[in-house]
């Protein structure tokens, strides 16, 4: 099949080309985002392949359908950027890559915690200046701390297992409880109770209407003083303005973000020669207890291998059978 691959970075091309040797699809790489203006670059393609920062609303899906696109292959697990119901109505099959590496994201979340709590960035900067003073570098033991996991699916469960290894107590909040987490000793509690009783809170739920701004003014008020909050899920789960107020008041002691609600036109590109026009994001960067990474939690060799392999398998399965095991259907 001819597949137009939007937003293709060098690493996407390298890994997709390698696995396409077994599939023999015609891969057309497009460096830019998919939108109403760039869709024309997918002329004659039966499948379009996009990443998390390529929104596919109903209007764009309609135009894709007119153009003869039959499949939308996502190079991601998350699919909040696609109007799945509209795609289903149009008969465009949408497939994702579920659970390509829960370890990549869970381990990144742990990395953010250790970097923040042990003040590793500040320590490194000091050492490079020849300053070996320990003032301002005191951290705390993770052992014995209570960790709240919001969303205990594939990534949340791996994260919980790692934190259990540190000797942490585990609290969980998820409408669907995970037996694997229970076996680790996790206690499922209400969201309010998790906020009230956790020293560290890590978000691993999808972005849904009910999770948008789950971390808001009210939730922050419930949290322990100097809480460590980590978000590797989706930016929209946090109300960024509320979080800035929490940082200013000192309520939030440490903030680790791999995602940001307005990341779409910011992350994945080099803006080092221009001015960042997003004042809210710029304010976040002024706090020395905030660590931001640009949606890189998924970015490991193992994860990119699985994404390339499964994306091509999804297209091949669709080509052969007209459907796909990883097909997404609106609830």
Q: Kindly state the helix (H) or strand (E) to which residue 85 belongs, with its residue range.
A: helix 84-90
Give the separation between CA 206 and CA 186, rounded to whole angstroms.
20
- Give me 248's structure tokens: 């200013």
314 in contact with ligand NAD (CB under 6 A): no
In this chain, which of 295, 308, 309, 328 binds ligand NAD, going by CB under 6 A?
Answer: 295
The three-point CA angle 12-15-17 to 5° equals 100
Residues in contact with ligand NAD, counted by CB under 6 A, come to a total of: 31
Q: Which is nearer to ligand NAD, 121 or 208 (CB)?
A: 208
Which residues in 255-274 contact ligand NAD (CB under 6 A)?
258-259
211 in contact with ligand NAD (CB under 6 A): yes
234 carries an active-site annotation: yes
Catalytic residue from among 234, 261, 309, 313: 234
Catalytic residue from among 108, 295, 309, 313: 295
Please list, in sequence order, all residues whose beta carbon lies within 8 angstroms of the beta carbon of residue 316, skipping any fewer than 6 positions away.
23, 25
205 in contact with ligand NAD (CB under 6 A): yes
The three-point CA angle 119-238-142 to 5° equals 35
- Report DSSP letters for 253-302, one per residue: EEEEES--TTGGGTTTS--TTS----HHHHHHTT-TTEEE--S-TT-SHH
105 in contact with ligand NAD (CB under 6 A): yes
Count Cβ atoms within 10 A of the Cβ of residue 146 and give its class: 0-12 exposed, 13-18 middle, 19 or more buried. middle
Q: Which is nearer to ligand NAD, 125 or 208 (CB)?
A: 208
Q: Kindly state the helix (H) or strand (E) to which residue 230 belongs, with its residue range.
A: strand 227-231
Q: Which is nearer to ligand NAD, 78 or 122 (CB)?
A: 78
233 in contact with ligand NAD (CB under 6 A): yes
Q: What is the DSSP-derived secondary structure letter of residue 215?
A: B
In this chain, which of 297, 308, 324, 328 binds ligand NAD, going by CB under 6 A?
Answer: 297
In this chain, which of 3, 155, 200, 324 binds ligand NAD, going by CB under 6 A?
Answer: 155
Q: Kindly state the helix (H) or strand (E) to which residue 254 belongs, with its residue range.
A: strand 252-257
- Give me 202's structure tokens: 């890590």
Would you give the binding string for ligand NAD spanning residues 85-104, x where CB under 6 A is met? --------------x--x--
179 carries an active-site annotation: no
Q: Which is nearer to ligand NAD, 156 or 253 (CB)?
A: 156
15 in contact with ligand NAD (CB under 6 A): no
Catalytic residue from among 75, 81, 261, 263: 263
In this chain, which of 56, 234, 306, 328 binds ligand NAD, going by CB under 6 A?
Answer: 234
Q: Edge-to-edge strand order for the sheet containing 2-5? A: 26-29, 2-5, 47-50, 71-74, 93-95
- Give me 234's structure tokens: 């989706």
Please list, in sequence order, all residues whose beta carbon lies within 8 angstroms of the beta carbon of residue 212, skipping any fewer than 6 positions away.
236, 237
78 in contact with ligand NAD (CB under 6 A): yes
Q: Which is nearer to ligand NAD, 80 or 241 (CB)?
A: 80
261 carries an active-site annotation: no
- Number of helical H runs and strand E runs in the chain: 12, 12
Q: Which residues are catalytic?
A: 234, 263, 295
Residues contributing to the site for ligand NAD (CB under 6 A): 77-78, 99, 102, 105, 150-156, 173-176, 204-208, 210-211, 232-234, 258-259, 295, 297-298
């Amino acid at each position: 099949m001819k597949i137009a691959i939007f937003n293709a970075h060098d690493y996407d091309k390298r890994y997709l080309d390698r696995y396409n040797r077994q599939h023999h699809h015609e891969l057309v790489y497009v460096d830019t985002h998919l939108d109403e203006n760039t869709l024309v670059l997918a002329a004659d393609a039966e499948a379009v392949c996009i990443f998390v920062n390529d929104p596919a609303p109903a209007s764009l899906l309609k135009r894709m359908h007119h153009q003869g696109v039959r499949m939308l292959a996502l190079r991601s697990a998350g699919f909040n950027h696609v109007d799945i119901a509209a795609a289903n109505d149009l008969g465009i099959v949408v497939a994702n890559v579920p659970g390509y590496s829960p370890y990549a994201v869970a381990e990144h979340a742990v990395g953010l915690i250790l970097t923040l709590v042990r003040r590793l960035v500040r320590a490194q900067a000091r050492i490079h200046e020849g300053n070996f003073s320990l003032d301002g570098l005191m951290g705390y033991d993770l052992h014995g701390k209570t960790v709240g996991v919001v969303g205990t699916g594939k990534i949340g469960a791996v994260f919980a297992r790692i934190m259990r290894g540190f000797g942490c107590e585990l609290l969980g909040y998820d409408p669907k409880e995970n037996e694997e987490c229970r076996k680790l000793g996790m206690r499922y509690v209400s969201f309010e109770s998790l906020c009230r009783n956790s020293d560290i809170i890590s978000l691993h739920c999808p972005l849904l209407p009910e999770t948008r701004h789950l971390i808001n003014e009210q939730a922050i008020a419930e949290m322990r003083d100097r809480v460590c909050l980590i978000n590797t899920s989706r930016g929209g789960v946090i109300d960024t303005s509320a979080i800035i107020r929490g940082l200013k008041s000192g309520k939030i002691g440490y903030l680790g973000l791999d995602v940001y609600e307005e990341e779409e036109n910011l992350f994945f590109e080099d803006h080092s020669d221009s001015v960042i026009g997003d004042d809210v994001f710029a304010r976040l960067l002024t706090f020395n207890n905030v660590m931001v990474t640009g949606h890189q939690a998924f970015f490991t060799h193992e994860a990119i291998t699985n994404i390339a392999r499964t994306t091509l398998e999804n297209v091949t399965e669709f080509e052969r059978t007209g459907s796909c095991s990883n097909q997404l259907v609106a609830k």
